[in-house]
Amino acid sequence: MRLDKFLKISRIIKRRTIAKEVADKGRIQINGLTAKSSSEVKVGDELTINFGNKTLVVKIEKIVESTKKEETKEMYSIISEESKSNGAF
């Protein structure tokens, strides 16, 4: 499955156009390699997603073509979630 489609269906990123934009800016890695929106993902892949001040690392557990909102959490497991703070008060 394409990376941008997986991100939308799993609801990690709500819109496919935004997922495509984030990926094409080089802010997503699959197993440590920079990915494009058209990159293929498979079960077992580890995604590292950089959202501005937050980095999310997830492992793909399941790939489905469509799912209900309640079942999206079964598609991936969160390995780590890190917020970057600039130290300003």
Q: Give domain status of residue 7, yes or no.
A: yes
Q: Give domain status of residue 66, yes or no.
A: yes
11-39, pLDDT tens digit by residue? Answer: 999 999 999 999 999 999 999 999 999 99
pLDDT-derived band at 43 (thresholds 50, 70, 90) equals very high
**What CATH number is associated with residue 64?**
3.10.290.10
Q: Give domain status of residue 88, yes or no.
A: no
Q: Look up the pTM and report it.
A: 0.88
Give the C-alpha distances (Å, rounded to integers) separating 64 from 30, 81, 86: 18, 24, 38
Q: Give domain status of residue 89, yes or no.
A: no
Range of the domain at 20: 3-83
Q: Give domain status of residue 79, yes or no.
A: yes
The pLDDT > 90 percentage for the chain reads: 80
Indicate the number of domains in the chain. 1
Q: Give domain status of residue 54, yes or no.
A: yes
Query: Quick one: average pLDDT of 54-60?
Result: 95
Closest CA to 22 of 3, 42, 41: 3
Angle at 74 between CA 69 and CA 77, to 5 degrees: 120
- Confidence (pLDDT) at 86: 58
- Confidence (pLDDT) at 52: 84
53: tokens are 């001040």
Q: Give domain status of residue 57, yes or no.
A: yes
